[in-house]
Amino acid sequence: MRELSGKVAVVTGAASGIGRAMAVRFAGEGMTLMLADVDHGGLAETAALAGDGKVLTQITDVSDAAAVRHLANRCFGEFGAVHVLCNNAGVFQGGHMWTRGEEDFAWLLGVNLWGVLHGIHEFVPRMIEQDTEGHIVNTVSVAGLFASQGTGGYALTKYAALAASQSLAQDLVATGSKLRVTALCPGAVRTRIGDSERVRPPGHADTPTPDELDRRESISRAAQDGMDPSEVAGLVVTAIQEERFLLLTDPGYAARLRLQTETLLTGHLPGHR
Protein backbone atom coordinates (compact mmCIF):
# COMPACT_ATOMS: atom_id res chain seq x y z
CA MET A 1 0.00 0.00 0.00
CA ARG A 2 1.95 3.03 -1.23
CA GLU A 3 -0.29 5.86 -0.13
CA LEU A 4 -1.01 6.21 3.60
CA SER A 5 -2.44 9.72 3.67
CA GLY A 6 -6.17 9.79 4.41
CA LYS A 7 -6.19 6.11 5.47
CA VAL A 8 -7.18 4.73 8.89
CA ALA A 9 -4.69 3.01 11.23
CA VAL A 10 -5.36 1.13 14.46
CA VAL A 11 -2.45 0.71 16.87
CA THR A 12 -2.59 -1.38 20.04
CA GLY A 13 -0.05 -0.78 22.79
CA ALA A 14 -0.08 2.85 21.63
CA ALA A 15 0.54 4.40 25.06
CA SER A 16 4.30 3.80 24.99
CA GLY A 17 7.38 2.76 23.01
CA ILE A 18 7.02 1.32 19.52
CA GLY A 19 3.22 1.74 19.46
CA ARG A 20 3.51 5.41 20.35
CA ALA A 21 6.21 5.94 17.71
CA MET A 22 4.09 4.25 15.03
CA ALA A 23 1.11 6.41 15.99
CA VAL A 24 3.16 9.62 15.75
CA ARG A 25 4.68 8.54 12.43
CA PHE A 26 1.31 7.54 10.96
CA ALA A 27 -0.14 10.89 12.04
CA GLY A 28 2.77 12.56 10.23
CA GLU A 29 1.80 10.59 7.11
CA GLY A 30 -1.70 12.12 7.33
CA MET A 31 -3.49 9.04 8.65
CA THR A 32 -6.57 8.93 10.89
CA LEU A 33 -5.83 7.02 14.10
CA MET A 34 -7.52 4.73 16.61
CA LEU A 35 -5.14 4.18 19.51
CA ALA A 36 -5.70 1.42 22.07
CA ASP A 37 -3.97 0.46 25.31
CA VAL A 38 -4.67 -0.34 28.96
CA ASP A 39 -2.76 2.81 30.05
CA HIS A 40 -5.14 5.76 30.01
CA GLY A 41 -2.56 8.48 30.78
CA GLY A 42 -0.07 7.18 28.23
CA LEU A 43 -2.75 7.03 25.53
CA ALA A 44 -3.67 10.66 26.14
CA GLU A 45 0.02 11.63 25.86
CA THR A 46 0.38 9.75 22.57
CA ALA A 47 -2.78 11.39 21.21
CA ALA A 48 -1.33 14.81 22.09
CA LEU A 49 1.98 13.91 20.40
CA ALA A 50 0.11 12.73 17.30
CA GLY A 51 -1.04 16.33 16.77
CA ASP A 52 -4.06 17.92 15.25
CA GLY A 53 -5.30 15.16 12.94
CA LYS A 54 -8.22 12.87 13.69
CA VAL A 55 -7.19 10.68 16.63
CA LEU A 56 -9.43 8.57 18.85
CA THR A 57 -8.30 6.57 21.86
CA GLN A 58 -9.85 3.60 23.58
CA ILE A 59 -8.90 1.71 26.70
CA THR A 60 -8.58 -1.88 25.47
CA ASP A 61 -7.12 -4.99 27.04
CA VAL A 62 -6.06 -6.92 23.94
CA SER A 63 -6.17 -10.22 25.82
CA ASP A 64 -9.94 -9.76 26.14
CA ALA A 65 -11.84 -10.74 22.97
CA ALA A 66 -14.90 -8.65 23.88
CA ALA A 67 -12.75 -5.54 24.41
CA VAL A 68 -11.09 -5.95 20.99
CA ARG A 69 -14.52 -6.52 19.38
CA HIS A 70 -15.69 -3.29 20.97
CA LEU A 71 -12.59 -1.53 19.62
CA ALA A 72 -13.30 -2.82 16.11
CA ASN A 73 -16.99 -1.87 16.32
CA ARG A 74 -16.10 1.66 17.37
CA CYS A 75 -13.43 1.98 14.71
CA PHE A 76 -15.58 0.81 11.80
CA GLY A 77 -18.53 2.79 13.26
CA GLU A 78 -16.59 6.06 13.49
CA PHE A 79 -14.36 5.80 10.44
CA GLY A 80 -16.16 3.32 8.17
CA ALA A 81 -12.91 1.49 7.34
CA VAL A 82 -9.55 0.28 8.65
CA HIS A 83 -6.52 0.16 6.34
CA VAL A 84 -3.60 -0.53 8.71
CA LEU A 85 -3.95 -2.72 11.78
CA CYS A 86 -0.96 -2.86 14.15
CA ASN A 87 -1.25 -5.67 16.69
CA ASN A 88 1.59 -4.31 18.75
CA ALA A 89 0.72 -4.49 22.48
CA GLY A 90 3.13 -6.78 24.28
CA VAL A 91 4.70 -7.60 27.63
CA PHE A 92 7.95 -9.23 28.67
CA GLN A 93 8.81 -11.59 31.46
CA GLY A 94 11.97 -13.64 31.74
CA GLY A 95 13.08 -16.55 33.86
CA HIS A 96 13.98 -20.19 33.38
CA MET A 97 11.22 -22.35 31.98
CA TRP A 98 10.86 -24.33 35.21
CA THR A 99 10.50 -21.28 37.47
CA ARG A 100 7.58 -19.78 35.56
CA GLY A 101 4.09 -20.72 36.67
CA GLU A 102 0.75 -20.94 34.90
CA GLU A 103 -0.12 -17.32 35.76
CA ASP A 104 3.06 -16.05 34.09
CA PHE A 105 2.44 -18.02 30.90
CA ALA A 106 -1.24 -17.02 30.89
CA TRP A 107 -0.35 -13.31 31.11
CA LEU A 108 2.32 -13.49 28.37
CA LEU A 109 0.16 -15.60 26.08
CA GLY A 110 -2.90 -13.41 26.75
CA VAL A 111 -1.25 -10.18 25.64
CA ASN A 112 1.39 -11.33 23.14
CA LEU A 113 -0.49 -14.11 21.35
CA TRP A 114 -4.22 -13.75 22.07
CA GLY A 115 -3.86 -9.99 21.52
CA VAL A 116 -2.70 -10.72 17.95
CA LEU A 117 -5.34 -13.43 17.40
CA HIS A 118 -8.17 -11.21 18.68
CA GLY A 119 -6.98 -8.42 16.39
CA ILE A 120 -7.00 -10.79 13.41
CA HIS A 121 -10.40 -12.21 14.29
CA GLU A 122 -12.17 -8.91 14.93
CA PHE A 123 -10.64 -6.72 12.22
CA VAL A 124 -9.49 -8.85 9.29
CA PRO A 125 -12.91 -10.16 8.08
CA ARG A 126 -14.20 -6.59 7.90
CA MET A 127 -10.98 -5.38 6.24
CA ILE A 128 -11.40 -8.14 3.62
CA GLU A 129 -15.02 -7.15 3.08
CA GLN A 130 -13.96 -3.53 2.53
CA ASP A 131 -12.14 -4.79 -0.57
CA THR A 132 -9.49 -2.05 -0.42
CA GLU A 133 -5.72 -2.30 -0.04
CA GLY A 134 -4.72 -2.81 3.58
CA HIS A 135 -1.94 -4.04 5.83
CA ILE A 136 -1.63 -5.89 9.12
CA VAL A 137 1.55 -5.32 11.14
CA ASN A 138 2.10 -7.81 13.94
CA THR A 139 4.86 -6.84 16.35
CA VAL A 140 6.83 -10.03 16.91
CA SER A 141 10.47 -9.81 18.07
CA VAL A 142 13.84 -11.37 17.35
CA ALA A 143 12.80 -13.54 20.29
CA GLY A 144 10.32 -15.06 17.79
CA LEU A 145 13.30 -16.24 15.70
CA PHE A 146 15.93 -17.09 18.31
CA ALA A 147 14.77 -18.75 21.52
CA SER A 148 17.47 -18.16 24.11
CA GLN A 149 18.07 -18.96 27.76
CA GLY A 150 15.96 -17.10 30.29
CA THR A 151 13.36 -15.86 27.80
CA GLY A 152 11.33 -19.00 27.13
CA GLY A 153 7.92 -17.69 28.23
CA TYR A 154 8.27 -14.59 26.05
CA ALA A 155 9.89 -16.41 23.11
CA LEU A 156 7.15 -19.00 22.87
CA THR A 157 4.52 -16.26 22.50
CA LYS A 158 6.61 -14.57 19.81
CA TYR A 159 7.32 -17.81 17.87
CA ALA A 160 3.55 -18.35 17.86
CA ALA A 161 2.89 -14.74 16.81
CA LEU A 162 5.29 -15.21 13.89
CA ALA A 163 3.54 -18.43 12.85
CA ALA A 164 0.18 -16.66 13.06
CA SER A 165 1.51 -13.83 10.90
CA GLN A 166 2.96 -16.15 8.27
CA SER A 167 -0.21 -18.26 8.07
CA LEU A 168 -2.36 -15.13 7.90
CA ALA A 169 -0.24 -13.78 5.06
CA GLN A 170 -0.48 -17.10 3.17
CA ASP A 171 -4.26 -17.26 3.71
CA LEU A 172 -4.71 -13.73 2.36
CA VAL A 173 -2.65 -14.43 -0.76
CA ALA A 174 -4.37 -17.79 -1.33
CA THR A 175 -7.81 -16.18 -1.18
CA GLY A 176 -6.92 -13.30 -3.52
CA SER A 177 -7.19 -10.64 -0.80
CA LYS A 178 -5.67 -7.20 -1.26
CA LEU A 179 -4.44 -7.26 2.37
CA ARG A 180 -0.79 -7.86 3.16
CA VAL A 181 1.09 -8.65 6.39
CA THR A 182 4.32 -7.60 8.03
CA ALA A 183 5.90 -9.49 10.91
CA LEU A 184 7.94 -6.84 12.70
CA CYS A 185 10.93 -8.44 14.44
CA PRO A 186 12.82 -5.76 16.31
CA GLY A 187 15.94 -6.28 18.37
CA ALA A 188 16.44 -4.03 21.40
CA VAL A 189 14.42 -0.83 21.20
CA ARG A 190 14.46 2.04 23.73
CA THR A 191 11.05 1.50 25.36
CA ARG A 192 9.56 0.47 28.72
CA ILE A 193 9.37 -3.24 27.80
CA GLY A 194 11.69 -4.16 30.70
CA ASP A 195 9.13 -2.65 33.09
CA SER A 196 6.13 -4.61 31.80
CA GLU A 197 5.22 -5.51 35.38
CA ARG A 198 3.65 -2.04 35.61
CA VAL A 199 0.71 -3.24 33.49
CA ARG A 200 0.44 -6.74 34.89
CA PRO A 201 -3.18 -7.31 35.96
CA PRO A 202 -3.77 -8.04 39.65
CA GLY A 203 -5.22 -11.45 38.77
CA HIS A 204 -1.81 -12.61 37.47
CA ALA A 205 0.46 -12.29 40.50
CA ASP A 206 4.19 -12.29 39.83
CA THR A 207 6.47 -14.92 41.38
CA PRO A 208 9.84 -13.18 41.27
CA THR A 209 12.86 -15.47 41.35
CA PRO A 210 16.55 -14.49 40.95
CA ASP A 211 16.65 -15.77 37.35
CA GLU A 212 13.55 -13.69 36.51
CA LEU A 213 14.83 -10.50 38.14
CA ASP A 214 18.21 -10.98 36.46
CA ARG A 215 16.59 -11.28 33.02
CA ARG A 216 14.33 -8.31 33.66
CA GLU A 217 17.39 -6.20 34.46
CA SER A 218 19.31 -7.32 31.39
CA ILE A 219 16.33 -6.64 29.10
CA SER A 220 15.93 -3.17 30.63
CA ARG A 221 19.63 -2.48 30.06
CA ALA A 222 19.48 -3.73 26.46
CA ALA A 223 16.39 -1.60 25.80
CA GLN A 224 18.11 1.50 27.20
CA ASP A 225 20.92 0.99 24.68
CA GLY A 226 18.50 0.02 21.94
CA MET A 227 17.27 1.63 18.77
CA ASP A 228 15.06 4.69 18.90
CA PRO A 229 11.39 3.68 18.45
CA SER A 230 10.94 6.37 15.79
CA GLU A 231 13.47 4.50 13.62
CA VAL A 232 11.40 1.33 13.95
CA ALA A 233 8.28 3.30 12.97
CA GLY A 234 10.06 4.53 9.85
CA LEU A 235 10.99 0.95 8.89
CA VAL A 236 7.36 -0.10 9.41
CA VAL A 237 6.10 2.57 7.02
CA THR A 238 8.57 1.39 4.37
CA ALA A 239 7.57 -2.26 4.95
CA ILE A 240 3.90 -1.37 4.43
CA GLN A 241 4.69 0.59 1.27
CA GLU A 242 6.93 -2.16 -0.11
CA GLU A 243 4.70 -5.01 1.09
CA ARG A 244 7.55 -6.63 2.99
CA PHE A 245 6.62 -9.66 5.10
CA LEU A 246 9.59 -10.11 7.45
CA LEU A 247 10.96 -6.90 8.93
CA LEU A 248 14.27 -7.34 10.75
CA THR A 249 15.53 -4.13 12.34
CA ASP A 250 19.17 -5.25 12.27
CA PRO A 251 20.84 -6.57 9.09
CA GLY A 252 22.96 -8.93 11.26
CA TYR A 253 19.90 -11.06 12.07
CA ALA A 254 19.80 -12.54 8.57
CA ALA A 255 23.25 -14.15 9.03
CA ARG A 256 22.28 -15.29 12.53
CA LEU A 257 19.10 -16.89 11.21
CA ARG A 258 21.09 -18.74 8.53
CA LEU A 259 23.60 -19.94 11.11
CA GLN A 260 20.83 -21.07 13.46
CA THR A 261 19.15 -23.05 10.66
CA GLU A 262 22.44 -24.69 9.69
CA THR A 263 23.17 -25.58 13.32
CA LEU A 264 19.67 -27.01 13.84
CA LEU A 265 20.04 -29.11 10.68
CA THR A 266 23.18 -30.69 12.13
CA GLY A 267 21.10 -31.69 15.15
CA HIS A 268 22.94 -29.35 17.52
CA LEU A 269 21.61 -26.76 19.93
CA PRO A 270 22.09 -23.24 18.46
CA GLY A 271 24.75 -21.26 20.31
CA HIS A 272 26.27 -24.38 21.93
CA ARG A 273 28.32 -26.10 19.25
Ligand X SMILES: NC(=O)c1ccc[n+]([C@@H]2O[C@H](COP(=O)([O-])OP(=O)(O)OC[C@H]3O[C@@H](n4cnc5c(N)ncnc54)[C@H](O)[C@@H]3O)[C@@H](O)[C@H]2O)c1
x/- binding map, residues 41-80, to ligand X, per CB under 6 A? -x-----------------xxxx-----------------
Give every CB contact of residue 239 below 8 A, 6+ residues apart in sequence: 137, 182, 184, 247
Q: Judged by CB under 6 A, which of 24, 89, 247, 248 binds ligand X?
A: 89
The answer to the question of residue 93 lying near ligand X (CB under 6 A) is: no
d(CA 14, CA 44): 10
- In angstroms, what is the minimal distance from the CB of 3 to ligand X? 26
The answer to the question of residue 186 lying near ligand X (CB under 6 A) is: yes
Determine which one of 154, 199, 237, 247 is catalytic: 154
- In angstroms, what is the minimal distance from the CB of 69 to ligand X? 14
x/- binding map, residues 142-161, to ligand X, per CB under 6 A? --------------------
Beta carbons within 10 angstroms of residue 31's beta carbon: 23
Q: Judged by CB under 6 A, which of 29, 39, 133, 212 binds ligand X?
A: 39
Torsion of CA 203, 204, 207, 213, to 10 degrees: -130
3-state secondary structure of 53: coil
Helix (H), strand (E) at residue 7: none
Count how many Cα atoms sit within 13 Å of the Cα of residue 168 in the half-sphere of its side chain.
Answer: 28
d(CA 217, CA 195): 9
253 included as an active-site residue: no
Catalogue the active-site residues: 154
Residue ranges that bind ligand X, judged by CB under 6 A: 12-13, 15-19, 37-39, 42, 60-63, 88-91, 111, 139, 141, 186, 188-189, 191-193, 196, 199, 223, 226
